[in-house]
Structure 1
């Protein structure tokens, strides 16, 4: 009986791969470290770009979330870093590289602690305690500018946008693009809805040819004969937006009609023509000068509108229709039976213009402007796409800054202050947690370390200078890395600002990811059902 009790019990399917224990945690950390090694060189104003290509596309970027997505990471633990980068991008729009770097450094420090015999649960508890201490200190150091006048607020927003663009491909033109971004944010009004910002890309010209349209702009849609006879410029036009198809084929049905007299066929065809001309007359009588439709506008309708000095465009994208509606006050119609002046939109000027090799329809001086459109220019497709990502990051930062009105000086200065505060706090702890808090504090210094390293300077020398400055009680607390001259700089005096919400989210997300990976002590990989079926003796 005792012999039977000692037989092994098989719970998992044949072919299941299983790994567990401290060695598994370290393997997961090593996998994450490989990703961090790829990402960390993109940090800062002197960070390098990554070229990622597949069979179809080539992408050149230093945006952390974009790189993480394109790497197509399959390791289950390392994919957590992809998720936190995406979370950071969705929540605040920037700091995606920082969050991955900090999470990687936390894991690297944790690896050393694990090898020293400290249990994962103690490290996790220590990291969470450290996170709370650091967030509390961050809130104390945060600078609120809500009581500033409008001009000062706008100037702070410009500095925040410029700081975000410092590390981008267009850093040489950061003043130009930061001004466009801040103007765009102010134009959105109280809604601050990013969906009302359109970005169109036209290859050719200089990046300084980029335009900001206070209204809507979209590429000329497919058009039929007769379009060239339509007017291409209007002042104070009435705009009609439709979700109606203006083509003969729209009236056809999959039905069978039997007739006894051949003359009846002509009446059926004529009825179809009467229907579309009735629709066109209703549009003309509404007083609309411009007709846009999500659905096709055929050759008959195009010629009719040309004869009546009306501009039309069919197959307009849904996003462009929504932004046109917001900007002009027009209401999209699905029927033509109740057209009146209340559903028509208005704008100061409409024109069709040539931009590069494309024709664009532009609605300017909209009376209900809550939307803007960037028309990006540049010499190469990859360059324009990176400009789009850069503007997206800067715009998200400005919008978050308007909402929260809290900033902290950047250049690694805030991380040095938080690290110092945590080291001081750790001295009040008398157990193993003190070592964990110290390791967390060291991880925060990774940001200024990589900022200086990526700029090509001695990171150890610069960090020593920063530690000395931040330890002096009489010293200014806002000293960070000068990436251009390889020295330290007062980030506050030089107006290098970052949004507090970005830093807060970086710390929360990085800590959460590190604790999650440290809590995984066993990985079980089940074989796919297809493989099971192939191995099954009953198949």
Structure 2
């Protein structure tokens, strides 16, 4: 409600609208974001703790992945939800660094809160933060190590590249994947899973399409029983009688993929048919049988030895195919069917009439059904049209398998991004300490409030190594002072970060703590934009919709 002198009040908003504005509202939003940061604070790094979250449906999630935790928590505060969004964006873009981006955004806001309370205008802080981000982005490009020369041998002709060069390039990727897995629940198996992640990505075509990597979880067995299959695999679908009589291993089969139901169904339409004789009634009964037999004959006539369908394949069709040495599987999940189609070069058919057999059918070197634990899987290997890989994860519990899958996804994303953008930096807080030193030095040459704000941005960057030390149980103040001294004394020490085994500084590059520069660049950009967005919101309006019509409007 607004009022002008001499005039009656003007009602702008409904009575039930909650309006909060001013610097107090910005600080309130920052406080909400700090609560989110507090939840994730202890999960960062190799010594980070895990969170056990029980959802409203009773499902239990155990994870230390920032994006997963915030997704399961379902943050409802509108400002704090921005942090959940940037964690999700970081996860989708590069796969790792989801906790780091939230901690950094929260620390930038915490540094800004003091300036806001002292009367600095939010726009001044926003401008300084964006200028600081521009500076560290340029510095990050300068210090990044280009490894494209070492990685190009992986895509070169094997006859022109020595085994030693290929192994060196593979070891480089494995170290990047190992750094990502170092903070996960499966950290003690990081070398094993890093090798699987690297082999899975290298098994793909040059486009590195992640859709061609399938991850299947099988309860039971040891974690080290997990393996990689160079091809497409999926769990055996529901099958009818006659399935066991079908062939379970076929060499160079022709493969037909259908989106078609091969099953007898009782009529559901409310139809009335008048017949004059028993023979006429029998013709109606036989009509559906004739239709399905016609479809089955046309399928067998194509020469296909493997038939997969997105819809059901009933007992009649199953036995029909078994009698003719054809393997069939119905109700195949759409994602698996699409992977098979791309890998074997087949096209999903919606009808069996007028098929162009040459275009419809695909092939591979081997089709085989194998037992994996208590489950049976169908595998297509030796695919020529598109290279694919399937990872079979083993483990004792569903929660452990879920977290293993999330961890492996992060490692696969890191390897993929390293191949596409082959520039690396050292982890362990080394790059943050170097950029913090760089900003502090640059801020001394700038006059006015921006000098303090640039230094505050630099101090915020130190939250990553500080949190790593705190989670490892070391004195963060002492170790940060040693790291500042190392970075200040020589430019050769730019890769010095925290050794979380001894609590002392170490050269993280020499100790193979590597990660793609894209992780850090994306984290800095996302955190800065999130902080600037929250600082720019000085009013929050909350409307309670009392009836359905208000909700629609």
Range class of TM-score, shorter chain: over 0.9
How far 1:140 sits from its partner (Å)?
0.8
Q: Name 1:530's counterpart in structure 2.
A: 547
> CA offsets, 1:123-153, max 9 Å, x none?
1111011010011101111111112244243
Alignment of 1:224-373 (within 5 A): 224-249=240-265, 255-337=271-353, 338=355, 340-373=357-390
2:484 paired with 1:467: yes
Q: Name 1:172's counterpart in structure 2.
A: 188
Give the stretch that moved more between structures: 145-154 or 75-84.
145-154
Q: Name 1:10's counterpart in structure 2.
A: 11
How far 1:157 sits from its partner (Å)?
1.3
1: CA distance between counterparts of 2:302 and 2:26?
Answer: 70
2:410 paired with 1:393: yes
2: CA distance between counterparts of 1:5 and 1:327?
Answer: 78
1: CA distance between counterparts of 2:18 and 2:357?
Answer: 69
How far 1:442 sits from its partner (Å)?
0.1
> CA offsets, 1:34-53, max 9 Å, x none?
11011111111111100010
Q: Is the 8 A contact 1:43 1:454 kept in 2?
A: yes
Cα distance, 1:434–1:3 mapped onto 2, change above 3 Å: closer
1: CA distance between counterparts of 2:194 and 2:262?
Answer: 43
Q: Name 1:127's counterpart in structure 2.
A: 129
Cα distance, 1:342–1:51 mapped onto 2, change above 3 Å: same
How far 1:252 sits from its partner (Å)?
7.8
1: CA distance between counterparts of 2:84 and 2:33?
Answer: 10
Alignment of 1:360-439 (within 5 A): 360-439=377-456
2: CA distance between counterparts of 1:232 and 1:532?
Answer: 60
> CA offsets, 1:85-126, max 9 Å, x none?
111111111111010000000001001112222221111111
Q: Is the 8 A contact 1:251 1:272 kept in 2?
A: no
2: CA distance between counterparts of 1:341 and 1:131?
Answer: 56
2: CA distance between counterparts of 1:7 and 1:145?
Answer: 71
2:480 paired with 1:478: no
1:444 to 456, 461, 473: 461
How far 1:489 sits from its partner (Å)?
1.2
2: CA distance between counterparts of 1:93 and 1:180?
Answer: 16
1:203 to 214, 219, 223: 219
> CA offsets, 1:433-460, max 9 Å, x none?
1000000000001111111111111111
Q: Which runs of 5+ in 2 are unaligned?
A: 155-165
Q: Name 1:512's counterpart in structure 2.
A: 529
Q: Is the 8 A contact 1:286 1:341 kept in 2?
A: no
2: CA distance between counterparts of 1:174 and 1:140?
Answer: 30
> CA offsets, 1:6-47, max 9 Å, x none?
654332211222222111111111110011011111111111
Cα RMSD for the two superposed structures = 1.9
2:25 paired with 1:24: yes
Q: Which runs of 5+ in 1 are unaligned?
A: 534-539
Q: Is the 8 A contact 1:283 1:339 kept in 2?
A: no
Give the stretch that moved more between structures: 271-280 or 441-450.
271-280
TM-score, reference length from structure 2: 0.93
1:192 to 175, 186, 208: 208
1: CA distance between counterparts of 2:77 and 2:184?
Answer: 29
Q: Is the 8 A contact 1:286 1:339 kept in 2?
A: no
How far 1:58 sits from its partner (Å)?
0.1
Cα distance, 1:36–1:300 mapped onto 2, change above 3 Å: same
Cα distance, 1:434–1:250 mapped onto 2, change above 3 Å: farther
1: CA distance between counterparts of 2:199 and 2:54?
Answer: 35
Task: Give the paired residue count.
Answer: 533
Cα distance, 1:348–1:246 mapped onto 2, change above 3 Å: same
Alignment of 1:49-198 (within 5 A): 49-54=50-55, 55-148=57-150, 149-150=153-154, 151=166, 152-198=168-214
Cα distance, 1:532–1:269 mapped onto 2, change above 3 Å: closer
> CA offsets, 1:445-491, max 9 Å, x none?
11111111111111111101100000012642100111122111111
